[in-house]
Amino acid sequence: MRIGIPDDGGPLVPATPTTTARLVGLGYDVLVSAGAGAGAGFPDAAYEAAGAAVVSDAEAWASDVVAITRAPDALATPGPAGLRPGARGPDGLRIGAVLIAQIAPAARPDLVRALANRGVTALALDAVPRISRAQSLDVLSALSNVAGYRAVVEAAAEFGGMFSGQVTAAGTTPPANVFVIGAGVAGLAAIGAAGSLGAQVRAFDVRPEVAEQIESMGATVVRADDAAQQVSTDGYASSLTADQEAAAQRAYAVETAAADIVITTALVRGTAPTTITAEMVANMRPGSVIVDLAAPGGGNCELTVPGKRVVSDNGVVVLGWTDLPDRMPRHTSELLGTAVANLVQLGTPGRDGRLALDPEDVVVRGMTVAAGGEVLWPPPPVAVSAPASGVEPAETSGSRRARPTNRARPTGGGASRHARPTGKPAHPAVRAVLIGLAATLAALAVAASPADQAAHFTVLALAVVVGFYVISHVSHALHTPLMSQTNAISGIILVGGMLQIGSANPVVTTLAVLASAVASINIFGGFLVTHRMLGMFRRGPADVSEAQVTPVIRASDTGADEGSRR
């Protein structure tokens, strides 16, 4: 079968040279329209090197499987004799073809009907079921991640200052204050990008369970307990009640008045609720920036105009860009291409170059909006095993529904072969009995030991208990430096073991040899792991030499602080 990659006129392309090689490896003939990847920085020669054929746009559209970034606005209905000769663009899509694209089926029923009338099997990349097995196909989350990052880039370009605080001989400047509304995929990406630039980031979400995620990104959680909501059992975010909305609005009013940058991401089933009123904008400082990631759904700010840059009467810039992922075409195309390749691989179990879609597969069924001349949207609901308390709603730009936080699995369509047995935890009573038995045996061992040995057993027991509670409460981020400290403890054990090797008691000598061997393995292995971990954060010689670093560090009078240079 032939897979066509037409040029749909935008900067994005749903296949990169890397993913094209994957498709060729699955047995397909890949036809790429000339210049289709130019906007993302992929020349035709790169596609040819990956095994694709560079063809005309009409030939790419006439392929058995056609992959584009977004579905066309309209599609001509074929006449009694079929398609007219020489049809161009989307009208060149042949009868019975497979179309892979972002279709937005809920908002474009006429297009879905037109695809069904042509007999096209339409697979919507933006209708992937939010289950763990389909995460590699989740285009919406990938694009939301890009949009959140790009939102900070756009805000930095508009803001009249630096994000990080500066300490210079001439004085100091404070860091920028960034307020993010919504801690979904886009919100967390924005928090991470703003924090990496040195800004002081505060974030709010109506879901109290995401507070830990916000803090893990280095931001401060804005709390409004009266605005907290629970998630519905169907996995969708729900609208706020009047009381919840009023409490949230009070928090927004306080935070926006103190913020230099505001990034909003709130979407509920594709609709953007109003979070920033015109009155709040009027209370913001001149020169402040609002980036509305919910502009495609109408916008969270009352002054947002989708696709436009608006300046308020008091000098606040409101950005309503709807094409933020398109402004980073290379990486966005890589994400799109990977999702398309994963989908084709899912439908090609035999790696024989033939797409065999399983309609019983819950993932394939959820994405199929038209097939066999019939409209198949909306799909049947996906039954998941996640309870309501374990669901994380998608209040983020580009997200439609919740992502189960406990890796919920579908109950049909081949899900059983992906299910993994989970071990049954021990009953609390059994654990208590085992702990009591171990304590009794330890006490008997101490009682039977000589008096001078009882003190050693006591010290050992206390060290085990204290060590367990200390290490179990150490953050995961500190495990690598903690390993280096435990290496020092192992060094003490090694020295003590070596001193006891010459003992006249053979038992003591044997234990000393074993202790020395184990401590040596722990020391060398620990330092090896630590070295490799630290190497992930170390620049290579090709990046910068020490001769280049020295003059930068000494240039403290230029206003660049050491923290921002690293």
Cis-peptide, bond into residue 378, ω within 30° of zero: yes
d(CA 359, CA 212) in angstroms, rounded, equals: 39
d(CA 14, CA 556) in angstroms, rounded, equals: 46
d(CA 401, CA 148) in angstroms, rounded, equals: 18
Question: Among 113, 9, 57, which residue's Cα sits nearest to residue 370?
Answer: 113
Which 3 state secondary structure label does DSSP give 66? strand
- Of these residues, 29, 44, 113, 236, which one is catalytic? 236
- Residues contacting 110, CB < 8 A, separation 6+: none
d(CA 249, CA 341) in angstroms, rounded, equals: 43
- Of these residues, 56, 132, 135, 564, which one is catalytic? 135
- Of these residues, 130, 150, 400, 409, which one is catalytic? 130
By CB atoms closer than 10 A (0-12, 13-18, 19+), residue 535 is exposed
d(CA 219, CA 199) in angstroms, rounded, equals: 9
Residue 194, H or E segment: helix 185-196
Based on the residue annotation, tell me whether 149 is a catalytic residue of this protein.
no
Q: What are the C-alpha distances in Å from 382 to residues 128, 268, 534?
A: 11, 19, 43
CB burial readout 328-344, b (16+ within 10 A) else e: bbeebbbbbbbbbbbbb
DSSP structure string for 147-172: HHHHHHHHHHHHSSS-SS-EEETTEE
- Residues contacting 253, CB < 8 A, separation 6+: 279, 280, 283
Based on the residue annotation, tell me whether 135 is a catalytic residue of this protein.
yes
What single-letter amino acid sits at 242?
A
- Of these residues, 8, 57, 138, 361, which one is catalytic? 138
Based on the residue annotation, tell me whether 500 is a catalytic residue of this protein.
no
Token digits of residue 306: 């989708």
Question: Among 93, 84, 78, which residue's Cα sits nearest to residue 6?
Answer: 93
The beta-carbon contacts of 466-472 under 8 Å, at least 24 apart in sequence, are none
Token digits of residue 511: 């234990």
Which 3 state secondary structure label does DSSP give 258? helix
Based on the residue annotation, tell me whether 141 is a catalytic residue of this protein.
yes
Based on the residue annotation, tell me whether 138 is a catalytic residue of this protein.
yes
Task: State the alpha helices, DSSP H only, in 263-328.
Answer: 278-282
d(CA 5, CA 24) in angstroms, rounded, equals: 13
> Is there a contact between 101 and 10 (Cβ–Cβ < 8 Å)?
no
d(CA 189, CA 192) in angstroms, rounded, equals: 5
d(CA 412, CA 397) in angstroms, rounded, equals: 29
> Is there a contact between 404 and 390 (Cβ–Cβ < 8 Å)?
yes
> Is there a contact between 51 and 18 (Cβ–Cβ < 8 Å)?
no
Which residue carries 């063809």 as its tokens?
A: 55
284 DSSP 8-state letter: S
Active-site residue list: 130, 135, 138, 141, 236
